[in-house]
Every structure is written in structure tokens, then in C-alpha cells.
Amino acid sequence: MDTSFAHVTELAKTKYHRKSDRYINYGTAGFRTKAADLTHIMFRMGLLAVLRSKYKKATIGVMITASHNPVEDNGIKLVDPMGEMLAANWEHYASELANVTDSEVKTVLNKIIQEATIDMSEKSNIFLARDNRPSSVTLASAFLEGVSCFKSHFHDFGEMTTPMLHYVVRCENTQKRYGKPTEDGYYEKLGEAFLKLRGSKPSCPGLYKPRLILDAANGVGAEKVCLLKHHLNDALDIEVLNDGSDGILNHECGADFVKTRQKLPTGLPLKVGDRYVSFDGDADRIVYFYIDKNSKFHLLDGDKIACLVAKYLKDLLNTCELDLKLGNVLTAYSNGSAKEYISKTLGVDVACTPTGVKHLHHKATEYDIGIYFEANGHGTVIFSGHAEDVILNTAGNTELPIEKRVAAQKLCTLVDLINQAVGDSISDMLLIETILHSLGWDVEKWSNIYQDRPYSLCQVKVKDKSIFKTTFDEQRLIEPKELQDAIDELVAKYTEGRSFVRASGTEDIVRVYTEAKSLDEVKQLSFAVCEKVYDIGHGVGDRPVRSA
């Protein structure tokens, strides 16, 4: 091992030396920055991934991607054995190892080994995948050289969507009970479940039409959907556009562009009556949209998806008469109308967590069946072991009425259709199409289950973002108290008013979210809150203006 450490030090100081003193933090999305600044981090994360694998005595996944970021960016994140995000205490190790000087790499590795009590004789195994960015191949090579320093076993899957990587890691660590840990195994599992839910005689009930136009963001999901189509037996006609053949990754297209800009992606021929869906660059976010007869754009984001899924699952559970706790986890950025629809119309429990998938995922595990979606379209459904057992027993109980057994059998099949490890554009798309087909709905009927309250999202520059401290769910300020008191006073003046502020995780910026009954009231309330934030935060630069 001393020889390996010597080799590590040599490579860290020469081939993979740190070129910048800029600190980079491991966040919810892992490391993410300009690809040119990541080479030394990739090498060091190869080392850390091996340590994590030895510590967990399991296969660890690593994904090289920058998701919805511009093509010149890239990133890396580690995936734990059940396909979940890296544990928080190891996020700290990742940040520390990435930012020390080249000569300190060996010292930090030893520190991690000692603090985590890692048996270095333990076997290790790494699953690696990457998106289709030009920089991903070179960065993958740097990562694997780090892995090779500890002579670890690894499997390079090449180009995959992020959710596929999470999927194969979970399959491998459950002795393949979750599925086959291969790309073909992923397509087979989802395809079989989708066709089973469609029925042996596929039809087009009600307003539903089995045709979909996909904006693939010129990302890795384009090719994967084309491969998936071979497993769907023409039950769903998916036209894949923005497939990377002549466009730039995430440039004026993709789920993040459509959601944040509230506008149509380039590269799509628009037609009234068609149903459109957008993925992001690594296919873990999804949003739907359509054009009405007046050529007006309508977005169905993570909130609308959460509501649709909650309705379908609640209906099935009611039919089965199963005593299982169904919950829907959202964030403060979810529209107030969505929360009201889920809690009051559907009677489903709603929980709110801080922004960040890891927070939503963790909270969702507290339910028998937990649905979580961020407004940006990242989300999934999690079934507890207890829920799966109850559903399976109900489906197989021949003494029950046929309608109860059929509903339970659908729930069993949904467990296979849903990627429970992480938000998955492909899996979520098939789930949504299954629900729309079952209900006989077109996208417009889905859109009309509720109307979004008018809202705005602004940002205000401040001198020190650290003075703005929120409650756990980020909906109220703990400090400065006088600012929260002022916001409460302002909100009380407006019908259905709601406003909260939270500091950026990276910049001296405070984001201000505002809702009200009318757009004029939103503008008035938003500006008033922004002024209070500016004054208390002793802001610099121009007065705040609406940015999104």
C-alpha cells in the first residue's frame, strides 16, 4: 500500500496537479464547474470512490455529468449502494480531498481511512458512466487512473443517463433482485412493466393519443429513448428531436430551459393538439408542455407531475382499500395551488423540505408510498418494503373481489416501472403516459386539474448572505427576525399572498419567491419584499429587478 500511496503522490503532483486555488464544494449535485478545472478532482474522486466502496463493502457508482449546465461545464458525483446520493459526512471528505494541495492528498487519504476505520484489504468495485459531453471521455480517464492506483475492480458503462447509472448500482448491490445491472436490463424491466399496464389489447381511451414529441436537450437521453422504443412494441410513438445530431447540449432546449424561461425549446415543430416533453442533458428531469388553440404555451412542471401521480396512486389505493400512508413531498418553490390540490382535493399528506433532491428523497422514505418532485421536474416514487409486501399479498389473494386484485396488480407493476433510486426522465415519462392512458386524458385535461397562482422569482444582491437564516423547510426566516416580521406584514395585505426568501448556496444573493391572486399583486408584493431584503442586507449594485 505504501507503493500505491507513493504513486498517488507522484500523480497528484505531476499529471493531475491542482491548477487553481479556487475552492470547489461537493453539493447535492456533486462537483460541477468548467470542465477544464476538473481534471485533478476527477483523479482524486477515483481514489475516494475506492475508499467508499471498501467502507461500504459494496459497489459504488460514479457519474460524470453536469446535467442541465452548458456544454463547457462538467461534473462528478458518487452514488451509494442503493442508488442514493452520497452520505453527507462523505460529502465533507470529498470537498476536503478535492481542495487540499497536491502534497497533502496522501495525508487526507490516511485521515479518511483512519476516521472511517476502512479495511484496505477489503475488495472494491466501481461502476462508472458519463454523459455525452466532449470533455467526459478525458475526465473519465483521469478518474479511472485514480481508481487504478488502488488496484480496484471497475466497470465502465460508457455513455448512460444518470438514472441508469443509479439503477445498475442498485441492481448490483441487491444481488440483482431489483433487476439486471445492465443497460439492456433497464430497458427490459421498464418495457415489460409499461406493456403490462397498457394491457394485451392496447387502445386509445377517451382523449388520450399514444403519440409524444420529445425534446431530448441534445443529451444522452436521445439515444437511450431510441433504444427503449424497441421494447415498447409500438404502444407509444415517440418522436425524438434535439437529439444531438445538429444542436448544442442544453442550448435553448431541455427541461431546465423550458422551466426557467417559461418558453418553447428551439428545434421543435409546434402543432396544436400535440403533446411535448423535455428532458435535461443527463435525463433526470422532465417537464411536459403544449400549445392551445390560441397558440398559448402551457407548462406542466414537477408540481403538475406530482399531482397527477398522487391522484393515480390514491385512486388505486382506494380501490384496494389498503391502509398504507401515501405522502407527497414538495419544496417551498412548489406552487400554492399544487399543494392545495394534493392536500384538499386528493386528501394526500403534503410535506415540505429544503431545496435539494437528497432532502426530498429522505423525507419520502418516511411514508409507505412517498412521492417527491421538485418544481424543476426531478422526482420519483418510493415504496417501502412493507408497502410492497402488502400490495403483493393483496394482488395474490384470490378471496378478494377482482377489482381489488386488479388494482393491487397494477400497483405491483408500477413498482417495476418506477426507478425508485432517483428521478428518471425515461421512467417518469412512461409512468405519466401510463396514467394519462388509464384516465383517458389528454395533456390539456391534465393541465386543467388546477390553475397555478401567479408567481415571481427574483434575486437581490446583499453584502453577506450568511445573515439570512431560514427554518428547515426554508419557508420562513429565523434571522433577521425584523425582515420576517416585515414580510408577514406585507403578505397580509394581499389576497392569497405568499412570499419567502432564502440565500443562495454559492453567491451573496438572496432569492425572493412571491405568490398572489393576480399578476399585478405579485409584482407589487415582490417589489416590496425585495426592497426590504435590499435595505436590511445593505445590498450593492443596482436595485433588484425580476430575474425569472
Where on the phi/psi map is residue 480: left (φ > 0), alpha (ψ -120 to 50), or beta?
Answer: beta
**DSSP SS3 for 233:** coil
Closest CA to 313 of 178, 397, 426, 417: 417
Q: What are phi and psi of 30, to 5 degrees?
A: 80, -150
Buried/exposed code over 228-262 (b: 16+ C-beta within 10 A; e: otherwise): bbebbeebbebebbbbbeebebbbbbbbbbbbeee
E strand map for 426-508:
455-461, 469-470, 477-479, 498-503
How far is it, in rounded angstroms, from Cα 144 to Cα 42?
8
Q: What is the DSSP letter of 471?
A: -
Q: Which three cell numbers stand for residue 283?
A: 435525463
Q: What are phi and psi of 161, to 5 degrees?
A: -75, 155
How far is it, in rounded angstroms, from Cα 509 to Cα 330?
23
Contact between 137 and 64 under an 8 Å Cβ cutoff? The reply is no
Contact between 71 and 250 under an 8 Å Cβ cutoff? The reply is yes
Q: Which residues are annotated as a binding site?
A: 67, 280, 282, 284, 374-376, 502-506, 511
Give the strand order in the sheet containing 276-279: 237-241, 211-215, 276-279, 286-291, 297-300
How far is it, in rounded angstroms, from Cα 22 to Cα 34?
12
How far is it, in rounded angstroms, from Cα 175 to Cα 363?
26
Closest CA to 31 of 44, 13, 19: 44
Active site residue 295: no
Q: To 10 degrees, what angle do helices 162-173 and 183-198 make?
A: 100
Using only C-alpha atoms, what is the Rg of the chain?
A: 24
Write the DSSP assignment of 491-534 as a string of letters. Answer: HTTSTT-EEEEEE-SSSSEEEEEEE-SSHHHHHHHHHHHHHHHH
Q: Which residues are annotated as a binding site for substrate?
A: 374-376, 502-506, 511
Hunting for cell 442544453 — which residue is that? Answer: 250
Contact between 142 and 47 under an 8 Å Cβ cutoff? The reply is no
Is the bond into 163 cis (omega within 30 degrees of 0)?
Answer: no
How far is it, in rounded angstroms, from Cα 198 to Cα 204?
10
Count of H-run helices and E-run strands, the chain? 18, 19
The neighbouring-strand residues paired with 239 are 213
Contact between 272 and 292 under an 8 Å Cβ cutoff? The reply is yes
**DSSP SS3 for 247:** coil
Q: Which of 4, 20, 53, 67 is catalytic?
A: 67
Q: Which residues are annotated as a binding site for Mg(2+)?
A: 67, 280, 282, 284
How far is it, in rounded angstroms, from Cα 341 to Cα 350?
10
Q: What are phi and psi of 501, to 5 degrees?
A: -130, 145
**DSSP SS3 for 16:** coil
| Residues annotated catalytic, as ranges | 67
